[in-house]
Structure 1
């Protein structure tokens, strides 16, 4: 057993611990320099300093019991009200209510759990509840379906990557309890036709959740800046719930998201309570028990610090940078932006070049971009950290395109090996393929993570004969990467 995999016999000094942590962080992607096109949203040093101060002020407080910490209750209710005011809330006619959560995944989990429990009251005859969602919807919804016994019905999108309203309507059955649309969808950054989906939901008497986790704190300001943003929020009759992440374009500290509902009766289906426990009455509004006070306080602090004018200024810079990137990418030979993104989330595709090889070249240049599939693409979420580095990225992207366009012995060899592997895979019995994918994932997991060049890996995944093989590969790799013995070996 490695020394670092046991609790140390004696503690270290504060200085030694912090130095070790800084050394480990040196291997992370440099998001502070704008090198990460996902995962982290930064609005600059001043906002970061405020977030750290506010988070630290309440880092020990627990949002589990609002009677013990009324300050956190005030912060949360204020944050929910401010968020709702941006997203179509009409307090004079109806009440939009909600709660803060730990992130978009928890918000989506709650939306599905709430729909299930609503259906138990309103549609008690349903025994196998279903939700209809486009294939571009976030996989946290599938996770929610897996956890709560709600069957996801995936519907293909149209050629512009938006939800196909006719196909989703046709997929509604007597077991359907929920429709889902995105604003925008993560893969290509397009807003689904929420108004049409809402009409379909109302006509069939089902709920409609809008996943605005990415766009909820950007789209309202984009509309005010003159961008043609389609209706997507509570101003649309038929939208019954909406999720928005504050730690994305709200620039709050992680993890901070909000789940909103049209009316308290629906939100009541989200709650849990146990009144017969010997330890006392235990009510819980969200998935978690303990709720870190720091995240709640920091969200309140940054929203009051920036205000509408601050968010408008940030949105203007981000959207201008995204427009610049879109135009430059479309002008590069062999590249194009997929669809017509509605804000600052986009994907780079190619009809003739290996887009994963281009991604590998960018990785070698120090950039972090997510790889996507169906169709193959590179994902970009533009935020304030990228305003200052857009030109350097475009320079490196053009250089990556040039390198991938030129003949290359290593790539030719890899492509030949991939074609051979594909032929072998299709010739082998399924049980043998399963054993080989498991061995491959174990081999990957023995290192410090995924390989530096992922184009061959994505090509091999595309050649696997069944989704079960792909699932097994991913699960085995996840198991390997999260085992303690691996953590103790990395630097």
Structure 2
């Protein structure tokens, strides 16, 4: 027994020495430092993977879901006609930064945001200069081409009600005019009279336009260029009609915008269409198309302020104070024997039809299957290309695919019969167009179902 106790004494001694060493203040400090480093390591991993990584992963998952469920056509590859007027990524970043700077600004209150008022005024002045407006020229900024056109129609309705006492206003426009004129007619109770175009030039028939003008006509209109075929109407002849009857003439340059004013300087064929034409009293120009401004942005211009004042909405007895508001708060085809260009387009829009033996809508469906987004037209059946900066880079490929599509249909006419041909063929065969309109309205209803 005594011998075993004697043997344990050295062990106890070393245990005591060990505890003494382990509890030495410097070693305790070292242990605490190591503990903190280990804690920091695992806290960092926890923070990165759970507290930060979780939301980041959720953000990436949301982004991937949006990309998956909110797909769009290949507009970056230049395969979409019109629609996207993209001036490059650098410009997009600039637009985003400008929007961030002025996101809270309210142009309705120029006394609070005088800088916004100045920017709008300068934008209007620049576009007036582009369109050779006289010194009396004036205008306002709107939310887009539709609003610019609607405002012009409202202006002439109110002006000639005041100046001529016209209570049942009418406007006479080409059948190819933008649908915004139809919208304005519905909004403001203006009778819309449409005039056919020349079957060769696709410009509005001036003789029939003249015959359609009555004592109730408050305005006529023309395009430079129109949406369907990219054709410019004879604005000079329309100006003569407007002067003869003392009525307004609106020129829709929403699509021609920043292309038409520069054709002459660039050495391309053009015609007179701006304020140099006597009789032109207003012009609309979209700055968010070939001007590359952010959507939506457009300018409505008038020859003189005494016309523009009828655009304004004024209320002097509103309980919220005196209310005044200026507006509403909205490459050529190579020789392909089976196809032909509609008219003689001079701007950024080209439309083309086909021989009677080929359905042009089948050509469109073939192009769609090759990744192109082309607009179908009717009366007459045709396809429409609105050339953008992105489109120019893919023009050669488009011509190749267009030829290949036509060749496919020549080799096998039955390979057509796609969806577009069915839709427009059926629509053309229905005499009661209200049925087609009901179907279109139902389609819009479906668009707003989440």
> Does the CA contact (< 8 Å) of 1:188 and 1:345 recur in 2?
yes
> Does the CA contact (< 8 Å) of 1:131 and 1:151 recur in 2?
yes
Shift of 1:261: 0.6
Measured in 2, the distance between the counterparts of 1:409 and 1:471 equals: 29
TM-score, normalized by length of structure 2?
0.84
> Does the CA contact (< 8 Å) of 2:195 and 2:209 recur in 1?
yes
Q: Which runs of 5+ in 1 are unaligned?
A: 1-11, 292-321, 415-451
What pairs with 1:91-490 in structure 2 (closer than 5 Å)?
A: 91=135, 95-124=136-165, 126-159=166-199, 160-288=201-329, 322=331, 325-326=332-333, 328=334, 331-351=335-355, 352-407=357-412, 409=414, 411=416, 414=417, 453-482=419-448, 484=449, 487=450
Shift of 1:16: 4.8
Measured in 1, the distance between the counterparts of 2:91 and 2:98 equals: 11
Q: 1:55 to 1:457 in 2, by over 3 A?
A: same
Deviations 1:213-267 (A, max 9, x none): 0113111111111122111011111111100001111111110100001111111
Measured in 2, the distance between the counterparts of 1:17 and 1:57 equals: 27
Could you say which residue in structure 2 is the equivalent of 1:295?
Answer: none
Measured in 2, the distance between the counterparts of 1:466 and 1:36 equals: 32
> Does the CA contact (< 8 Å) of 1:132 and 1:180 recur in 2?
yes
> Does the CA contact (< 8 Å) of 1:370 and 1:378 recur in 2?
yes
Measured in 2, the distance between the counterparts of 1:345 and 1:280 equals: 47
Could you say which residue in structure 2 is the equivalent of 1:305?
Answer: none
> Does the CA contact (< 8 Å) of 2:349 and 2:385 recur in 1?
yes
Measured in 2, the distance between the counterparts of 1:83 and 1:332 equals: 39
Measured in 1, the distance between the counterparts of 2:229 and 2:405 equals: 21
Secondary structure of residue in 2 paired with 1:208: strand
> Does the CA contact (< 8 Å) of 2:239 and 2:278 recur in 1?
yes
Could you say which residue in structure 2 is the equivalent of 1:71?
Answer: 115
Secondary structure of residue in 2 paired with 1:181: strand
Shift of 1:335: 1.0
Secondary structure of residue in 2 paired with 1:454: helix
> Does the CA contact (< 8 Å) of 1:354 and 1:404 recur in 2?
no
Could you say which residue in structure 2 is the equivalent of 1:20?
Answer: 65
Shift of 1:269: 0.3
Deviations 1:450-485 (A, max 9, x none): xx7321111111111222222222222222333x2x
Measured in 1, the distance between the counterparts of 2:92 and 2:262 equals: 21
Deviations 1:106-150 (A, max 9, x none): 0010000001110111111x2210000010001110100100011
* Number of aligned residue pairs: 392
Question: After alignment, is 267-276 or 464-473 more displaced?
Answer: 464-473
Note the aligned Cα RMSD (angstroms): 1.7
Measured in 2, the distance between the counterparts of 1:73 and 1:32 equals: 34
Computing the radius of gyration from Cα coordinates, the structure with the larger value is: 2
> Does the CA contact (< 8 Å) of 2:409 and 2:415 recur in 1?
no
Secondary structure of residue in 2 paired with 1:276: coil
> Does the CA contact (< 8 Å) of 2:408 and 2:415 recur in 1?
no
Question: After alignment, is 346-355 or 131-140 more displaced?
Answer: 346-355
Q: 1:13 to 1:265 in 2, by over 3 A?
A: farther
Shift of 1:79: 0.4
Measured in 2, the distance between the counterparts of 1:13 and 1:223 equals: 54
Measured in 2, the distance between the counterparts of 1:344 and 1:225 equals: 14
Shift of 1:281: 2.0
Shift of 1:406: 2.1
Q: Which runs of 5+ in 2 are unaligned?
A: 1-56
Measured in 2, the distance between the counterparts of 1:381 and 1:410 equals: 27
Measured in 1, the distance between the counterparts of 2:253 and 2:140 equals: 15
Shift of 1:198: 0.6
Shift of 1:15: 4.8
Q: 1:271 to 1:13 in 2, by over 3 A?
A: farther
Measured in 2, the distance between the counterparts of 1:37 and 1:138 equals: 17
